Amino acid sequence: MQTFYTIALLLTGVILSNIIKQLVPRIPEAFILIIVGVILSFTPAFHNFELRR
C-alpha cells in the first residue's frame, strides 16, 4: 500500500506541475517540477525514501 501511495503522490505532483505550467507559462517547467518535488518531500511518505540498486 505504501508503494501505491508513493506513486499516487508522484503522479499528483506531475499533474499539478502541468496545471501550473498552463497557468504561468513564463516559469520554466523544470523549476516548477523542482518546487513541486520540494513540497512533496515534506509529506510523510517520503521521509524514509531511498533509491536502491
- Stated pTM of the model: 0.72
Residue whose C-alpha cell reads 517540477 in the numeric block:
33
Q: What would the mean pLDDT of 13-23 be, rounded to a whole number?
A: 92
What percent of the chain clears pLDDT 70, i.e. is strictly above it? 100
Query: CA–CA separation, 7 vs 53, rounded Å?
Result: 18
Whole-number Å distance between alpha carbons of 53 and 33: 24
pLDDT of residue 6: 83
Mean pLDDT of 27-53: 85
